[in-house]
Structures are given as C-alpha cells and as structure tokens.
Amino acid sequence: MTRPTVRKRRKRVVKSPEERRADILRASREVFETIGFADAKIVDIAEAADIGKGTFYAYFETKDHALGALWEEYVDAFVATTEEILAKGEAWWPTIDELLITLIEHAVDNAGLHRIVYGSANAKALELCKESNARVVDLMCDFVSRGATAGAFRCHNPDWAFRMVYHAADGLLDDLIARRTPIDTAEVTRSVLELAHRTLGDHDLKEKAGDR
C-alpha cells in the first residue's frame, strides 16, 4: 500500500515586520531577475522567501506592488544621497555635476532592477515606479530653479530644461542597460554633463570642455 505524501511543515521563524518585508523584497527581486516579472507568481516569491502565500499578501497586494516597493527603495537611496550632496552647500555647477554623476552610477549599479521595471513590468508596476521617480525629479528641479534665480543657470524655463536633461539621461541609461552589454560609464557621464551644461546655459562650456 502506497503511503500518502506528507507535506513537510515549514519551520516557524519569528521575525520583525521589517525583517519579513525585507525578506519578501529580496526574494521578489531574485524571482523577477531569474524567472522574469511576467512569468513570476506569488507562490514563487513565497517559496523563495520561505513563507506562505498568506504572509506575502499581508505585506503586498500584488507582485506589482512588490516591484513598486523595490523601485521605491532604489529611489529612496538616491534621494538620501541627493539630499547629502545638496547639504554640502557647494557651488551650483559642481553640485549639479555631482548629482548627475551619482544618478548615472546608481542606475548602472542597479541595472538588473532597471531591466525588470522597463523591460518586463506591466502598466500597473510602471505607474507605481513613475510615482517614485517624480520625487527625485522634483527635488533636483527645485535646486535648478533656485540656481536660476541666483543667476547660475541661464535658461528660459529651468524646471522644464532640467526635466528634459533628466529624462534624456534616464532614457539613454535604460536603452544601454537593456542591451546587456558593458556600459562605458565615463563616456555616458561626459555626454550627459555636456547636455546639462548646454541646456542649462553654461556660457563657459567651451573653456571647461578644454580642461576635461
């Protein structure tokens, strides 16, 4: 007589809500990068996090919300870095250069997450990620607007001008990351900084270009 299969019960591990949420996000990222966002299921994430499906739903409504939370963590890290750079109180142009350099490095370091969001995420997840991105753009645009008022940036509409620079840089990075080939970070940085200086009205651009 064949004995019925006895499902092994999961050993209960007590963790704080913060630790459990971090486990779920770690597992979500692993599953999304391995299986692909479209094919990933909640049960896959639950197994990777060593939890039941019910525990997943206690923290996130859907896998879209889990991806949105991953992107929010990514954005939070850049926002914190941006605030640190702004707090230094350095001159306007060196600050904008450092912000853009940091943006590029942060994106390249998180290439896998970029591919998930822009390569396979659906409209719901993309909308959640777009909401997080707005925080970064608004913070940096506020800085540029203040710099324009101080006379450092000379363009007709500083808010619009920097939004164009930001989205151009973001779009370039997404395109390069999607190719899955090595990215020449130095060349990307040179191109983005040149665009920023031209768009925001740096009249000493030619002289600076000769110094680089």
Condensed to tens digits (0 to 9), the pLDDT of residues 76-115 reads: 999 999 999 999 988 999 999 999 999 999 999 999 998 8
Average pLDDT of every residue of the chain: 88
Residues 68 and 113 in one domain: yes
Instruction: Confirm whether 36 is domain-assigned.
Output: yes
Residues 43 and 123 in one domain: no
Give counts: helices (H), strands (E), the chain: 10, 0
Residues 99 and 132 in one domain: yes
Mean pLDDT over residues 151-166, rounded?
A: 95
Residues 95 and 181 in one domain: yes
pLDDT interval class at 117 (50, 70, 90): confident
Domain boundary among 26, 43, 59: 59
62-81 pLDDT tens trace: 999 999 999 989 989 999 99
pTM of the predicted protein model: 0.79
Instruction: Confirm whether 52 is domain-assigned.
Output: yes
CA–CA distance, 53 with 42 (Å, rounded to integer): 7
State how many domains the chain has: 2
Q: In which domain, by residue range, is 53 found?
A: 17-59
Contacts for 77 with CB less than 8 Å, ≥ 6 apart: 106
Q: Tell whether the model's pLDDT for residue 206 goes beyond 70.
A: no
The CATH number linked to 40 is 1.10.10.60
Residues 70 and 131 in one domain: yes
> What is the percentage of the chain residues whose pLDDT exceeds 70?
89
Instruction: Confirm whether 8 is domain-assigned.
Output: no
Residues 49 and 103 in one domain: no
Residues 52 and 126 in one domain: no
Mean pLDDT over residues 37-63, rounded?
A: 95
Backbone angles phi, psi at 187, to 5 degrees: -70, -40
- At residue 11, the pLDDT reads 58
CA–CA distance, 122 with 41 (Å, rounded to integer): 14
